[in-house]
């Protein structure tokens, strides 16, 4: 019996097996209990395995096992020359979270400046206040700019109020650190931090002002809110974009009302027309109702560009369908790049009214909308043509029948087939004529469907 291998020895042997499948199965079957130092070390070393499956199995085990020996052993891989191994070590330590904080703090004194920065980056992502004293000490003793920037960011993530004086002192010493320090102060959220940030607003350059404005959205109070509102009138783009973002954040935080005056209107319009998706989303949130044609058309023009922006706009569109019906023809006739999105939107809004959307419009408004659909019947995009066919038959049957020749000549079989679905339920002499013509369609599926409808004597039944 003395020759029998211990469980730990057997695991070590399996972890060194030539077949990757064996190594994976071993890692997947491991229990966190009663593992020797050698096994823990071997499992940690598995994150350097050339096989991706083995690496994944090792990461899963190491992030689920609460063994206190793991963080320190994984921290050692921060110094790996292999970027993938280094990043895996960081991922594992981050997923371990607060239990990895001490191992990362200990490694700060071991590694070189690159290692220190990496360790501090991970500590900042973990965001534990327990790491702040060690990060503060490093910030006071290290002169490497990358390390210092990592320290500033981490202290902000930790909301380390005790670092305020040192951050302010560093702000005055090096312009490179200023935007990061402003961002950190915004996360710390103390009255002293707010006072300092506000004191720098007027004196600094526009690049730094951008960071200041964004921080004020987090750290600001009621006075800040009204200050930012006043700045909207004085500020041109692109600074108006972060202004709107911070105003919205403070509105949500304090339940403030935002005046939709001419200055705010113009700022929102500018943002919708010129900003990137992040700020267009903010502008969309700030729109109350679509009682402004120019704002509405600007919103319609960007519909379809970004999913998150679309979700905000859709909610507002569905609160004002009549306004959409009244003004969208002007945009549809311009054949914008998002034409398909707009036609699909009209279809959804129309269906919300159970097909009676036309009844809420004046005769001229109905005609304008109908004319827009007819212009889409020859669009190169078959889906746009299909949607337009559906809308015409649902919205204006007379016009749909008037343009039936165009629809019958659609080169997409499915569009002609879809037309039959509508013709089947239309009580009109022209409908039977069109079905008869489609009974001669070169596409067998279309002609069979048309003949099936004719054979049912549908039109006789509805007389």
Q: Chunk the chain into consecutive blocks of 10 residues (it has 463) and report each block's average pLDDT, rounded to whole numbers.
A: 64 87 90 86 93 93 92 95 94 96 94 94 96 96 95 96 94 91 93 93 82 93 92 83 94 88 88 91 85 88 94 88 89 93 92 63 87 92 91 87 87 89 84 89 92 74 47
CA proximity to 128, closest of 166, 95, 155, 110 = 155
Burial class of 120 by CB neighbour count within 10 A (0 to 12, 13 to 18, 19+): buried
| Residue 314 · residue 357 · CB < 8 Å | no
| Residue 319 · residue 289 · CB < 8 Å | yes
| Residue 60 · residue 46 · CB < 8 Å | no
CA proximity to 204, closest of 194, 216, 195, 213 = 213
The span from the CA of 220 to the CA of 193, in Å, is 10
Q: Between the CA of residue 329 and those of 284, 314, 321, 339, 375, what are the distances in Å?
A: 21, 18, 13, 11, 10
| Residue 304 · residue 280 · CB < 8 Å | no
| Percentages of the chain per state (helix, strand, coil), in multiples of 5 | 75, 0, 25
Residues in the chain: 463
Q: Between the CA of residue 29 and those of 6, 8, 25, 49, 306, what are the distances in Å?
A: 16, 13, 6, 18, 44
> Token digits for 288?
């109350």
> Token digits for 316?
């507002």
The span from the CA of 82 to the CA of 96, in Å, is 21
Q: Between the CA of residue 324 and those of 373, 387, 411, what are the distances in Å?
A: 14, 17, 31
Q: Residue 446 has what pLDDT? A: 92
Q: Residue 281 has what pLDDT? A: 94
The span from the CA of 91 to the CA of 78, in Å, is 11
Token pair 């705010």: residue: 264
The span from the CA of 303 to the CA of 317, in Å, is 10
Q: Residue 106 has what pLDDT? A: 94
The span from the CA of 316 to the CA of 263, in Å, is 21
Question: In 16-163, which ranges are E strands?
Answer: none
């Amino acid at each position: 019996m003395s020759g029998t291998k211990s469980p730990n020895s057997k695991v070590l042997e399996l972890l060194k097996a030539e077949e990757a499948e064996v190594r994976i199965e071993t890692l997947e079957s491991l229990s966190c209990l009663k593992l020797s130092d050698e096994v823990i070390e071997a499992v940690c070393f598995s994150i350097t395995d050339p096989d991706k499956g083995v690496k994944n199995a090792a990461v899963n085990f190491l992030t689920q096992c609460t063994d206190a020996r793991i963080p320190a052993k994984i921290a050692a891989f921060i110094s790996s020359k292999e970027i993938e191994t280094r990043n895996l070590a960081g991922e594992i330590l981050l997923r371990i979270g607060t239990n990895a904080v001490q191992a990362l703090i200990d490694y700060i004194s071991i590694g070189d400046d690159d290692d220190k920065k990496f360790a501090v980056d991970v500590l900042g992502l973990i965001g534990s206040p327990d790491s702040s004293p060690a990060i503060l000490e490093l910030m006071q003793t290290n002169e490497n700019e990358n390390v210092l920037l990592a320290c500033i960011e981490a202290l902000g993530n930790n909301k380390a109020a005790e670092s305020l004086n040192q951050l302010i002192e560093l702000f005055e010493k090096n312009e490179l650190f200023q935007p990061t320090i402003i961002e950190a102060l915004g996360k710390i959220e103390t009255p002293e931090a707010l006072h300092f940030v506000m004191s720098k607003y007027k004196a600094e350059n526009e690049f730094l002002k951008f960071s200041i404005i964004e921080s004020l959205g987090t750290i600001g109070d009621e006075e800040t809110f009204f200050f930012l509102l006043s700045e909207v009138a004085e500020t041109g783009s692109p600074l108006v974009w972060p202004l709107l973002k911070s105003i919205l954040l403070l509105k949500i935080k304090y339940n403030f009302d935002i005046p939709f005056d001419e200055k705010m209107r113009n700022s929102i319009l500018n943002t919708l027309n010129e900003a990137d998706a992040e700020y267009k989303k903010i502008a969309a949130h700030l729109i109350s109702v679509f009682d402004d044609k120019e704002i509405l058309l600007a919103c319609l023009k960007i519909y379809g560009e970004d999913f998150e922006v679309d979700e905000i706009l859709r909610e507002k569109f569905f609160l004002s369908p009549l306004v959409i019906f009244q003004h969208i023809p002007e945009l549809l006739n311009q054949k914008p790049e998002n034409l398909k999105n707009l036609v699909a939107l009209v279809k959804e809004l129309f269906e919300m009214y159970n097909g009676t959307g036309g009844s809420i419009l004046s005769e001229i408004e109905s005609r304008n909308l109908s004319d827009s659909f007819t212009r889409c019947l020859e669009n190169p995009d078959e889906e746009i043509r299909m949607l337009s066919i559906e809308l015409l038959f649902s919205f204006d049957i007379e016009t749909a029948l008037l343009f039936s020749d165009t629809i019958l000549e659609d080169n997409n079989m499915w569009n002609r087939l879809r037309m039959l679905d509508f013709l089947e339920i239309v009580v009109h002499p022209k409908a039977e004529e069109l079905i008869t013509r489609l009974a001669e369609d070169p596409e067998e599926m279309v002609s069979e469907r048309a003949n099936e409808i004719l054979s049912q004597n549908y039109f006789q039944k509805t007389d």
